Structure 1
Amino acid sequence: MDRCPTRTRRKRHASSQQPARRGRCPARHPRGADLLAGPTGVFNYRIPGLVGLGAVLDPESSECLNIGEATAASPVDSPKNLTDQTATVFLDFDCDGDTYAVLPAGAIRGTTVQFRSVVFN
């Protein structure tokens, strides 16, 4: 049986006054789990002219994402990086250009941060 017992007991040595201690199960990962998985969490942004937010759930790491709601005339803004990794947002598509902002995990920025693409690392 491939199950970790909830409690294990060690025998008490005759000369020891220490009580038996609980054992700990080794950390386990589900079979086939990718130990090098990308960021987890949600990355939110505001879409100007619309009510509500856009979102990217559990994005891929090191892969540039063009924001679908952004256009050449109107970028999205107000990023909220609620993932567990750093996000870099770019004003241009394809994570290109000199105008960008770095958002650590948990960072929230206002309407002054406008972007059309994002990459997580």
Structure 2
Amino acid sequence: MWVVLLINTLVAAFLAFFSFRNRHEAFNLFNAGIVFIVFGLVLLISAIPVFKDFDTSSVLMFTAGLLLIVGIIMLIVSWVTKSERAVRIKDIAVTLAVAAVCSIYLIRNLSMINVIVPELAMFLAIALFAVGLNKN
């Protein structure tokens, strides 16, 4: 199962490299908040198949909770400051890919049922990246 982690890491690195290449823009709180929330949701949903393993599920849920709270705070601040509200599909794709790699790394007992959610997130990331390429 470590092969799955290695392959997913390479795919996430590929998506991140080609997504952020030749990109020049300022920091956007709204986009960052959405990214934090998506990352937290992937980790939270990844905790469902491993709910019987207290250590793994508690780490995933704690990290997901922190990410969700920070993401919601960022969204509120961006709403109050009336910052630009634009989300790039490529950013969501990279977030899903990195979250899939992190959740596979955090799941200690790698079985086929435990990696379903991270692999679905990785496939969705690849699909969103392809859609983002077609939009440009």
- Higher normalized helix content (fraction of residues): 2
Query: TM-score over 0.5 for the alignment?
Result: no
- TM, length-normalised to structure 1: 0.23
- State the structure with bigger RCO (CA 8 A, min sep 6), 1 or 2: 2
- Higher normalized strand content (fraction of residues): 1
